[in-house]
Structure 1
Amino acid sequence: MNIKPTLIKQLVNYGPKDYRLVSAPLPEPKANELLVKVGACGICASDFHCYHGAPMFWGNETFPPYVKTPVVSGHEFYGTVHAAGPNALEHFGVALGDRVIAEQIVPCDKCRFCRNGQYWMCEKHDIYGFQKDDADGGMTEYMLFKPTSRVHKIPQSLSLEECALIEPFSCSVHAVNRGDIQFNDVVVLAGAGTLGLGMIQAIKLKTPKKLIVIDTMPHRLALASKLGADEVMNPLEEDVIAKVKAMTDGYGCDVYIEATGNPAAVNQGLQMIRKLGRFVEFSVFSRETSVDWSIIGDRKELDIRGAHLSPGCYETVIDLFSRKLMTAENIVTHQFPLDRWEQAFATFGTAEAIKVLLVPHAQ
């Protein structure tokens, strides 16, 4: 449909530490595209690392840049269907005014992974907020959901905070699923940030024998305990490897999930996990991590599992929020309008912040 051009605000990434709040015409949806009024967009660790120039986004001597600029940032968004291009409402099974969320990835639907149903590993791999033209993100007032987007409806019963946490908590659920947690498992989760706090809630629903959470920030450990951790530990204050082994008759934990992005937590996990254990690596790292690979193979024969994005998990998280089996309470700590994006990014890096949101429209 034709929409009279109107200027909107967009936070555009032009390069490391070169983000600009600009005015741009209101996008016009094409066939099978939705125009969505953004309700909120969270700042992720990957957004933070990208802003500060991490090589995994901007490339180095061994691999090319991933980010294609200029691009509107943000992949942790949700919103309301404002307008639709030809056939879009039927294509996605939604109506004007519906609250909706699109998964982070805009799959090509053509590569071997997409054809095999593994769309989250799409070879082209456009993620909202990182590739210009094909995947402008949600740090804006209005955005387009693309024809190959995986779109889900959100019930009106969910709060703004819950809606804003659907994306990160979907990643949390996928990581926990990768751990294949059993009833008798002792599970160690390293990292109690937003994703870790979602993982705690998902792990508790798996009912393992014991859940141990490790973090260096006391207030995050306190929240981890409130959300269901059986034990919390601070590696700056105690020998967490020795303590976990003492709690497991010297063997070590059955499952270790790394969600800190700190290289020290990887080596910590390799020392802490038992032989034949399951190690789930979730984090986005700002620098390379070195480990003794003989631990993985010769000494322990570990099952190392990566966790990327959140396939099949959005509807699960929406359902868990709806049934009050997950909570957003105390996890969203800060909300800023788009005009204060610099303060929002600065706040993300502070000790008191957990999830920081940009909220484009006054609530």
Structure 2
Amino acid sequence: MTATSIQPIPETMQAVVCHGPENYRLEEVPVPTPGKGEALVRVEAVGICASDLKCYHGAAKFWGDENRPAWAETEVIPGHEFVGEIVQLDEEASRRWGVQVGDRVVSEQIVPCWTCRYCLRGEYWMCAPHEMYGFKRRHPGGMASYMVFPAQALVYKISKDLPPAHAAFTEPLSCALHAVERANIRFEDVVVVAGCGPIGLGMIAGAAEKFPAEVIALDMSDEKLELAKLCGATRTINVAEQDAVAIVKELTDGYGADVYLEGTGHPSAVAQGLNLLRKLGRYVEYSVFGSDVTVDWSIISDDKELDVLGAHLGPHCWPAAIRLLESGKLPMDRICSHQFPLSRFQDGLDMVADGSKSIKVSLIPE
């Protein structure tokens, strides 16, 4: 049995379609039809992140390595940070996700296969096929008026009281919270977060909720550092004007920070983190880098015996991210700095590429 919305569903919709590197077009395409156990969702907002920009430029150009394959297939609709309203689903989908027509929902960015080694062990965010919305034609993303949540998806309800762009921030916030969990922050820790973009601000907010001794934010923008304070940073350091390593060492009697969370994507932030950590400290890497990073690995081993951890996606953190957004604690009006209609997707991509005029840029389907 299928339930549908009161409003009729159109036959066609607007969507951004990838035709190759730097060749995205707004097109009129058929509204997708959900299959058994799936849901049709009317998209309310979709965020643009660094990986979207990477796909737009093409992996080879982004990395400076022609041997790297493109991340995204052609003819795919991009976008993996989205929120929308369910307009059609069957009883199977309703029971599985605990949702119904009219609910506002988000979905984790990965669509697990649930049959590979990682999925069977509960490590679904490392699913071997690694199908994500907006990168392969199999699962079109949210830069469209409508999209389908497949049966394998992980889906959550979120409050309708949040502005659409704020609700779509669930995805990057969940990623930031996963990095915080990887850091195993303790009450007495001095935590340093490098970068005050969307991920970094989420890391600061998540770290602050762990109540460590200090949460120190690093960035080159005073405006972003002020925003970091509103997210829970106890101290800020402008790395363009101050020596972060020296300041952290002085603050900790020469030992160094306990935890370093890297969220800039700049190679210099890696060496910075290794140098300002104490012996037996914990380094968590989340960023996607645009070039190779070279460091003195002896710092990790012989000098300090550091725990160096990676973080990918936001497993098991979506409910917490939703609660944090719904709590009203975060300055979301300032974090979600710019919204464009879907027809101005190019302006949105260009603004994210510039990096100096925005925090989180979102597209709002008309």
Under TM normalisation by the shorter chain, which class is it?
A: over 0.9
Change in CA separation of 1:63 and 1:110 when aligned onto 2, cut-off 3 Å? farther
CA distance in 2: counterparts of 1:62 and 1:54, whole angstroms: 9
**Is the Cα–Cα contact under 8 Å of residues 106 and 168 in structure 2 kept in the other structure?**
no
**Is the Cα–Cα contact under 8 Å of residues 57 and 67 in structure 1 kept in the other structure?**
no
**Is the Cα–Cα contact under 8 Å of residues 249 and 257 in structure 2 kept in the other structure?**
yes
CA distance in 2: counterparts of 1:318 and 1:344, whole angstroms: 25
Match of 2:211 in 1: 207
CA distance in 1: counterparts of 2:113 and 2:83, whole angstroms: 21
Asked if 1:273 is matched to 2:277, the reply is yes
Please report how far the alpha carbon of residue 59 of structure 1 lies from its aligned counterpart in structure 2 after TM superposition: 9.6
CA distance in 2: counterparts of 1:112 and 1:103, whole angstroms: 20
CA distance in 2: counterparts of 1:212 and 1:59, whole angstroms: 33
**Is the Cα–Cα contact under 8 Å of residues 166 and 332 in structure 2 kept in the other structure?**
yes
Matches within 5 A, 1:165-180: 165-180=169-184
Q: Aligned letter for 1:79?
A: G
Secondary structure at the aligned position of 1:49 is classed as helix
**Is the Cα–Cα contact under 8 Å of residues 55 and 70 in structure 2 kept in the other structure?**
no
Give 1:152's match in structure 2, choosing from 156, 161, 164: 156
Give 1:320's match in structure 2, choosing from 319, 324, 327: 324
**Is the Cα–Cα contact under 8 Å of residues 54 and 287 in structure 1 kept in the other structure?**
no
CA distance in 2: counterparts of 1:230 and 1:86, whole angstroms: 48
Match of 1:13 in 2: 18
Please report how far the alpha carbon of residue 46 of structure 1 lies from its aligned counterpart in structure 2 after TM superposition: 1.1
Match of 1:341 in 2: 345
Which whole-Å deviations, capped at 9, do the CAs of 1:300-345 have from their partners, x for residues lacking one?
1110111110111111111222333444131011110111111111
Match of 2:304 in 1: 300
Asked if 1:37 is matched to 2:42, the reply is yes
Moved more, 35-44 or 241-250: 241-250
**Is the Cα–Cα contact under 8 Å of residues 64 and 291 in structure 2 kept in the other structure?**
no
Secondary structure at the aligned position of 1:87 is classed as helix
CA distance in 1: counterparts of 2:29 and 2:286, whole angstroms: 35
Matches within 5 A, 1:106-125: 106-125=111-130
**Is the Cα–Cα contact under 8 Å of residues 125 and 312 in structure 2 kept in the other structure?**
yes
Change in CA separation of 1:56 and 1:185 when aligned onto 2, cut-off 3 Å? farther
CA distance in 2: counterparts of 1:224 and 1:5, whole angstroms: 43
Asked if 1:93 is matched to 2:98, the reply is yes
Q: Aligned letter for 2:32?
A: P
Which whole-Å deviations, capped at 9, do the CAs of 1:119-148 have from their partners, x for residues lacking one?
00100001111111x211001100010110
Which whole-Å deviations, capped at 9, do the CAs of 1:206-258 have from their partners, x for residues lacking one?
11111111001121011112322111111211211111111111111100000
Match of 1:182 in 2: 186
Match of 1:130 in 2: 135
Secondary structure at the aligned position of 1:296 is classed as helix
Moved more, 233-242 or 299-308: 233-242
Match of 1:234 in 2: 238
Match of 1:262 in 2: 266
Give the TM-score normalised by the residue count of structure 2.
0.93
CA distance in 2: counterparts of 1:159 and 1:211, whole angstroms: 28
Root mean square deviation of aligned Cα:
1.9
Asked if 1:218 is matched to 2:218, the reply is no
Match of 2:196 in 1: 192
Secondary structure at the aligned position of 1:279 is classed as strand
Please report how far the alpha carbon of residue 162 of structure 1 lies from its aligned counterpart in structure 2 after TM superposition: 2.6
**Is the Cα–Cα contact under 8 Å of residues 321 and 327 in structure 1 kept in the other structure?**
no
Q: Percent identity?
A: 47
Q: Aligned letter for 2:142?
A: G
Asked if 1:102 is matched to 2:107, the reply is yes
Any stretches of 5+ residues in structure 1 without a counterpart?
A: none
Q: Aligned letter for 2:253?
A: D
Moved more, 16-25 or 79-88: 79-88
**Is the Cα–Cα contact under 8 Å of residues 35 and 84 in structure 1 kept in the other structure?**
yes
Matches within 5 A, 1:70-81: 70-81=75-86
**Is the Cα–Cα contact under 8 Å of residues 29 and 85 in structure 1 kept in the other structure?**
no
CA distance in 2: counterparts of 1:86 and 1:323, whole angstroms: 31
CA distance in 2: counterparts of 1:289 and 1:12, whole angstroms: 33
**Is the Cα–Cα contact under 8 Å of residues 339 and 363 in structure 2 kept in the other structure?**
yes
CA distance in 2: counterparts of 1:117 and 1:225, whole angstroms: 36
Any stretches of 5+ residues in structure 2 without a counterpart?
A: none
Change in CA separation of 1:35 and 1:48 when aligned onto 2, cut-off 3 Å? same
Match of 2:365 in 1: 360
